[in-house]
A and B are shown apart, each in its own frame.
Chain A
Amino acid sequence: MHIMEGFLPSPWWEIWFLLSIPFIVIGLYQINRLVKENRETLPLLAVAGAFVFVLSSLKLPSVTGSCSHPTGTGLGAILFGPFIASVLGLIVLIYQALFLAHGGLTTLGANVFSMGIAGPIVAYLIYKAGTRAGINTYVTVFFAAALADLFTYVVTSVQLALAFPGEAGFFTAFQAFAAIFAVTQVPLAVIEGAVIALVFKYIVQLKPEILTKLNLLPEATIRKLQEAAA
């Protein structure tokens, strides 16, 4: 669930735009380079974007009695890094702001920052750390995607608490917003992590050569994973 249109007063919405724009610019530059150098990765990029589309359209009920949706940006971040993932997030956020009045154009900068940048950075770092530590690939992907989803809404809560600290101050406001966004998100984050781990398994089975080309998994690991599933 994104910050709604008009719910970030000046100067906050401008600040989040300023912070997000560099990521988008670098992301566009990286996509351009990726497409020129490695045309065969283009379908995988489309699939990563499509996952953001599907997962962020599913509003799921959570234990708190309210609904929210997963983000789906973890997969793009693991495969292509946080800069490209921010562009994928931006596309979906524009679609939702224009056609669904979900999120908004003035809050776009803040929403891109939470869903397209902060979450993906977490996914990317966890994936890199987990792979280096030799943890099972699917477990790593699960944690990367789930924590990216959760962190997105922690950041949304921070953004709202900064803009609306109230009389009680930032920390009290943060707790109130986190109770709404982040707690609702916990079960959804688990589902998102599980689904993306499963998708990763299918990518390992169907298109492993792209994973080695993008330096995501060494060939030996891919062979081991494929044998386990054979």
Chain B
Amino acid sequence: MKYALEIAVTAIIVIFAAVFLVQNAAIQADLAEGEEAWGGADGSAAELIESSGYEPWTSPLWEPPSGEIESLFFSLQAAIGAIVIGYFFGYWRGSRKTA
């Protein structure tokens, strides 16, 4: 089958999205006012460590001042990667066609 792998990957992503939707509905239903679900795993680990009384001994040199600016840098990171991947895959495809 020509596209067997593509179909398998799409199926995995669809299942992942469906599980998320079901889980999210369940979580949102029990969430108390003002609580937010789907935080980062590193944040939960930090909470666990801080609950033992540990204080981080240093803090980041610079922190993104808001969630928007943080998402700017995350998108920039993805964009840099995507440009490089797209450029070379396109280049390889083009050179195979002309060869």
Chain A contacts to B: CB under 8 angstroms: 1-7, 9-10, 43-44, 46-47, 49-68, 92, 95-102, 104-106, 138, 160, 164, 166, 176-177, 180-181, 184-185, 187, 190-191, 194-195, 197-198, 201-202, 206-207, 228-230
Contact = CB atoms under 8 A, between A and B. Distances in A.
B48 A180 contact: yes
Interface in B3-29: 5-6, 8-9, 12-13, 16, 19-20, 23-24, 27
9 contacts: A7-B46, A54-B85, A57-B74, A57-B75, A57-B78, A67-B38, A99-B64, A187-B19, A191-B16
A198 B57 CA distance: 43
Interface in B46-99: 46, 48-49, 52, 54, 56-64, 70, 73-75, 77-78, 80-85, 88-89, 91-93, 96
Given A61-B24, A100-B74, A3 B93 contact: no
B12 A5 contact: no
Contacts, number: 165
Given A100-B74, A187-B16, A66 B44 contact: yes
A6 B58 contact: yes
Given A99-B64, A229-B2, 8 more contacts: A6-B59, A46-B84, A54-B78, A97-B60, A100-B74, A101-B63, A164-B52, A201-B5
Interface residues of B, number: 55
A118 to B, nearest CB: 17
A191 B24 contact: no
Nearest to A103: B42
B70 to A, nearest CB: 6
A202 B89 contact: yes
Contacts of B5: 138, 197-198, 201
B42 A3 contact: yes
A7 B49 contact: yes
